[in-house]
Chain A
Amino acid sequence: MSTAVRAEWTKLRTVPSTGWLLLTAVVLTVGVSTLETVVVKCPASCSDDTTKVSLTGVLVGQAAVAVLAVLVVTGEYSSGMIRITLTAVPRRITALAAKAIVLTGVVLATGAIAVAGSVLAGRYILPGNGFTGAHGSLALSLGAGPTLRAAAGSVLYLALVALLSLGLATALRDSGASITVLLGLLYIVPLLTDLGTLDPRWEHRLQEWGPMTAGLAIQATRNLKSLPIGPWPGLGVLALWAAGALLAGGLLLRLRDA
């Protein structure tokens, strides 16, 4: 297993697109979060969830993480390298597990940087916008329990999205198809539930079971009772999606030729 992990790590770090994609993920996350914290001001909306405001960028940065995860698998298929990989590591589940381990490590590290950057931006910009603790607003501080939970949860969220993409890509084997299905899964559900026209039962179901809508519940630190699903259960729903995708991918990997 350790040789497989070392091999996967070599593959990942020697491909130039990995670096660019991780950089894009960090830039997008921190950039969108900073944009959001700069424009949200206290006299207009003091009761906002400041932690969720400063972590908004995660919903854009996850796209770059998803692309990285998809390319980790489909890059091998498109270049024909998969035959060599599966010859070198005949136990295919080990090969998939090694990919998953390396990918998770890399995404956790990058996610930590991105989330830390977002929270720092919030920490320094929000008090200037009026969120000083007065008028019922929350000052952002990483020491506070819920904020720490939201930040750590967002890093986990990115890792789970990467694992979901990995499983899906292993099942579909084609980069275009995998990324299309994945982005559809992630972004179409909030598009439908955001505009408030659906039957409330369907809206609730979609928000509870959609991978992105449920997973991002981890970022909420206020009004937890009014959320469709709690923070940790929401992340658990995303974990279920990732587990299901990895299961499907692993099964297909074992049953198919290559």
Chain B
Amino acid sequence: MSTGTITPYRSEQRPGRDDFPHLLRSEWTKFRTVRGWLIAMVAAVLLSALAVVAIASAANGKQNPAANPTVAIGPDGEAVTDNFYFVHQPLTGNGSITVRVTSLTDAEQPGQPPFGNVSQPWAKAGIILKASSKPGSAYAAVMATPGHGVRMQYNYTHDLAGLSGTPSAASPRWLRLTRSGDTITGYDSTDGTHWTKIGTVTLAGLPPAVKAGLFAASPQYVQGGQGFANNSGPGGIDTRITATFDHVSLRDGRPGGTWTAGRIGFPTGPEGRFHCTASGPQQPGHYHGKCAPGAVPLSGSIIAGSGGTYTVTQNGGEIGPYVTNVDPLGTVLKGTAVGLLAVIALGALFITAEYRRGLIRTTFAASPRRGRVLAAKAIVIGSVTFVAGLIGAAIALPIAERKLHSGGWASSVFPIWSLTSGRGLQIVVGTAGLLAVAAILALSAGAVLRRSAGAITAVVVLLIVPLILGVVLPQGPADWLLRLTPAAAFGLQQGTPQYSQVMHICQPYNGCFPLSPWNGFLVACAWAAAALGLAAYLLRRRDV
């Protein structure tokens, strides 16, 4: 018998590599090779884009009075409120206007039932340079406010902060505006000698002679929030501002002129309502220049007193952006909930299908480090969902906006956001991010519960039910619900601009979210991170 050497068998295969990129690749292979998952992802995104466009077509603005209100149009095409009385002189060429404010109070207009301490924090009294008397024309103003100190505001949507504190005889506020060509600079001071610059603005196309003067405006005081199913929404209380100006000086190289009283805007106020004093019944409606019988037209009175002092009393009025209570774009974008459900299902199925088929044992045998497996799954499903959501939102947003505007929603009040504008990007990237976070949340829930039905329901209850409950609960609890649950991320889809210089109650009933959009997204991300942590912990502790 020959004892020949037998070469031992050596496998031709190279040893497998156990690094993260290969793990990612295997998870991606699992995702793309299951019949139906990739198609389902594409279908989900297409369906939600379709749903958004369909809802936009059904969002009829023609019968909704809030869709096309009577507003003035500002220099940038936005809807503005521009109603105030002032005394003015022409300022020709370069020059400045200076004033000292020694007192400022704001309270509710007499003749109404007492509401307690009603002081509009954004009531305004100060100096203004206005391009013309047409409502919506360009302006720059420096003003004192009861609640926010000295502000410089220009062209309705811009607001800069100056000195804080309310003016009084002991601590007055000096305000100055200087014009040099198209550039206007605002200054404030406490003693009239040391001036601090508040800001410089360029108002394009200012005429050579602008109206420079003293003005006051006192918007409505908004109080209350939504009740159960919005039974009692916020109410507005008419207010009146009283201020004292002195040391008024206007320098433009021309001999002194006379102050003329002027009115911008009015008789149709922000909601088409003639602002009448409460000596008669206050009734809404268009009055075409008249008040209801018995009521007297609003007067702003800037009365020249002795020694160059002016006493200013102004009922109502407002110079600022027009703030609407409806958010049609946000509502229409809720159509993404259709795709969101499918994305949640896919995220949960990505791991629960492995449990059901028993593939999970192979997966954990091939990659014993279970935390990395979960991370790889999260990255794969998150990125696929993000890309798909980005494409879907980028397609749906312009179409939906066009349909809204052809349906009667005025573009001055509800701007058309282009895909490259800040808000447009926020909506598109935010929607994609929301979908990705939902998928990762569903993946974690699936890993924790190991059954798809429970995981999907849990994520839907956390993400979609708060939106429904937020409409039904009263203001405070609704706000808390929309701050604490992942549904806060839906704030990224808000379509109407928010302004901090207007007193406004943000009601979930109107589609307004309490947190700022990206903060809401952070809340959702925190939930996803916590869920991933819990899932990783349980995966390591359990058998499979």
Chain A residues within 8 Å of B, Cβ to Cβ? 17, 32, 35-36, 39-41, 44-45, 47-49, 52-53, 56, 59-60, 63-64, 66-67, 70-71, 74, 78, 175-180, 183-184, 187-188, 190-192, 194-200, 202
CB < 8 Å: which of B64, B338, B452 contacts A188?
Answer: B338
Query: A45 near B460 (CB under 8 angstroms)?
Result: no
Bound together, the chains give a CA A78 to CA B511 distance in angstroms of: 41
- Known contacts A39-B474, A191-B334, A183 near B231 by CB under 8 Å: no
State the B residues within 8 Å of A (CB): 55, 58-60, 63-64, 224, 227-229, 231-232, 326-328, 330-332, 334-335, 337-338, 341-342, 344-345, 348-349, 352, 356, 451-454, 456-457, 460-461, 464-465, 467-469, 471-474, 476-477, 509-511
Chain A residues in 8 Å Cβ range of B331: 192, 195-198
A63 touches B457 (CB 8 A): yes
State whether A44 touches B468 (Cβ < 8 A). no
Alpha-carbon separation in the docked complex, A170 to B476 (Å): 42
Given contacts A44-B227, A67-B453, A202-B58, contact A191 B337 (CB under 8 A): yes
B224, B345, B477: which contacts A180 (Cβ < 8 A)? B345
Contacts of A198 in B (CB 8 A): 55, 58-60, 331
Kindly state the separation between the CA atoms of A41 and B335 in the bound complex, as whole angstroms: 33
A56–B472 CB distance below 8 A: yes
CB–CB A48/B228 < 8 A: yes
Residues from chain B with a CB closer than 8 A to the CB of A187 are 337, 460, 464-465, 468
Interface core residue of A63, A188, A194 (most chain B CB under 10 Å): A194
Does the CB pair A192–B451 fall under 8 Å? no
Task: Given A40-B474, A191-B337, verify A175-B58 contact (CB < 8 Å).
Answer: no
Contact B474 A183 (CB under 8 A): no
Distance (whole angstroms) from the CB of A30 to the closest CB of chain B = 15
Q: Taking the nearest CB of chain B, how far is it from the CB of A99, in angstroms? A: 16
Within 8 Å by CB of A64, from B356, B457, B476, lies: B457
Inter-subunit contact B451/A175 (CB<8 Å): yes
Interchain CB contact under 8 A, B342 and A180: yes
Min CB gap A157→B, angstroms: 16
**Cα separation A96 to B414 with both chains bound (whole Å):** 52
> 15 additional contacts, CB 8 Å, given A187-B460, A195-B511?
A41-B474, A44-B227, A59-B468, A60-B461, A60-B465, A63-B460, A67-B454, A176-B348, A180-B341, A183-B457, A187-B337, A188-B337, A194-B467, A198-B55, A202-B58
Instruction: State how many angstroms separate the Cβ of B348 from the closest Cβ of chain A.
Output: 6
Instruction: Chain A residues near B332: list those with CB within 8 A.
Output: 197
The smallest C-beta distance from A106 to any residue of chain B, in angstroms, reads 17
A191 and B348 in contact, given A36-B473, A45-B474 (Cβ under 8 angstroms): no
CB distance from A209 to the nearest CB of B (A): 14
* Chain A residues within 8 Å of B474, by CB: 39-41, 44-45
Complex CA gap A158/B469 in Å reads: 18
Is there an interface contact between B344 and A180, defined as CB atoms closer than 8 Å?
Answer: yes
* B467 cross-chain contacts in A, Cβ below 8 A: 191, 194
Task: Give the distance to chain B from A137, nearest Cβ to Cβ, in Å.
Answer: 11
A179-B334 contact, Cβ under 8 Å, with A195-B511, A199-B63: no
Cβ contacts A to B, 13 pairs, < 8 Å: A44-B232, A45-B228, A48-B228, A56-B469, A59-B468, A63-B457, A66-B457, A71-B451, A176-B452, A187-B337, A191-B464, A196-B326, A197-B326
| Contact status of A183 and B341, CB under 8 A, knowing A40-B474, A191-B467, A200-B60 | yes
A190 with B468: CB separation less than 8 A = yes
Considering the chains assembled together, what is the distance between the CA atoms of A194 and B466 in angstroms? 13
Interchain CB contact under 8 A, A32 and B469: yes
